[in-house]
């Protein structure tokens, strides 16, 4: 972990919040290992698992892309109506809404950026290191479960394989960010 990526633009996971995807996959792997009857249907992240299974490991560049395959984002209608509502506060429309919403953020961001940035970067690295160890352990356990449950039904094997794909990608992405060869 000597070659830790320090430039945000080169990181796969640029914030602690972005690591939530990995946490969700780790939690799902734990649930899979604790319940030998669990399948994609019972999962908390069924769309993600189905997307991983459909894409396989070769066709996707990062866990974020893989994770996003089955997840719907914010709707354009919701965003535009929110901006228009915020803009109406100052008697404008959607464009004015951007400035209304951005002004308090810009004012707050001006103070204490250096200290906050250093603390966030330290916290991000620590969380990546902790998660990396956890992902490795869960990945090994899922691989073992695939071997032990080789005669399980197709739904269970698909579930374990989708977790294997997601964990494999998480290992790759965290290894990149941590500079692990």
Q: Structural domain boundaries of the chain?
A: 8-178
Label residues 27-64 b or e (16+ Cβ within 10 Å = b).
Answer: ebbeebbeeeebbbeebebbebbbbbbebeeeebebbb
Least confident of 66-75, 136-145, 146-155, 171-180: 66-75
Name the more confident of 118 and 16: 16
pTM > 0.75 = no
Structure tokens at 36: 């030998």
For residues 12 and 14, what is the distance between their CA atoms, to the nearest angstrom?
Answer: 6
pLDDT per position as a tens digit, 68-94: 544 444 445 554 555 455 455 556 665
For residues 149 and 156, what is the distance between their CA atoms, to the nearest angstrom?
Answer: 9
pLDDT per position as a tens digit, 26-43: 999 999 999 999 999 999
Largest Cα span, the chain: 66
């Amino acid at each position: 972990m000597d070659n830790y990526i320090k430039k945000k633009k080169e990181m796969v996971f640029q914030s602690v919040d972005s690591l939530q995807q990995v946490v969700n996959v780790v939690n799902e792997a734990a649930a899979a290992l604790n319940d030998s009857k669990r399948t994609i249907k019972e999962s908390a992240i069924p769309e993600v698992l189905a997307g991983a299974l459909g894409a396989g490991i070769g066709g996707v560049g990062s866990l974020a892309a893989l994770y996003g395959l089955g997840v719907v984002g914010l709707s354009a209608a919701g965003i535009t109506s929110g901006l228009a509502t915020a803009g109406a506060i100052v008697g404008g429309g959607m464009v004015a809404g951007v400035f209304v919403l951005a002004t308090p953020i810009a004012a707050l961001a001006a103070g204490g950026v250096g200290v906050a940035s250093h603390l966030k970067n330290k916290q991000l690295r620590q969380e990546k290191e902790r998660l990396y160890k956890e992902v490795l352990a869960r990945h090994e356990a899922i691989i073992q479960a695939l071997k032990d449950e080789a005669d399980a039904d197709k739904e269970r094997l698909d579930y374990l394989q989708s977790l294997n794909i997601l964990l494999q990608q998480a290992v790759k992405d965290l290894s990149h960010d941590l500079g692990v060869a």
